[in-house]
Amino acid sequence: MEDQVTMTEEELLEDGFGDTPFYHCFIAEIQGATSSDDPKVVGFVMYYFTYDPWVGKQLYLEEFYVMGEYRGLGIGSELLRHLSDLAMKTRCTGMMFVVAENNEPSVQYYKRRGAEDLSQEEGWRLFRFDKDSLVKMGTPAEE
């Protein structure tokens, strides 16, 4: 999947930590092997806020990752707890996210925590306009 990344490190930093942040993050750390070792980042969540005129503010979970060797230790649950607390404090009505259809372990992980699969429950489909489509739609037609 790394070959699909088109962002530079500079763009990522500007978009998240510039004057107008487009996303926010939480990281999960564990203490190093000794007390003098720096903490090690073992997971993270990337999120942002959206708005639905029917229900109001929503927290959108864009990325959620815990390193394989640290899964099953409650780190992911703790990250989701922090996000849930944040969503409640900011008066969000829900948390939205997308899971790849073939990622059954993640589908089950979220369902065990109470997530609804809207593709099955409500029949929603995910669409995207790529950059070329945006350019075509945004460029005035020649007369």
Would you please indicate which residues are annotated as catalytic (active-site) residues? 110
How many other C-beta atoms lie within 10 A of the C-beta of residue 140? 5
Give the chain's count of helices (H) and strands (E): 5, 4
Helix (H, G, I), strand (E, B) or coil at 6: coil
Question: Any residues with CB less than 8 A from the CB of 46 and at least 6 apart, and which?
Answer: 23, 24, 25, 61, 62, 63, 64
Tokens for 105? 């372990």
Tokens for 141? 């037609």
Tokens for 135? 């350019």
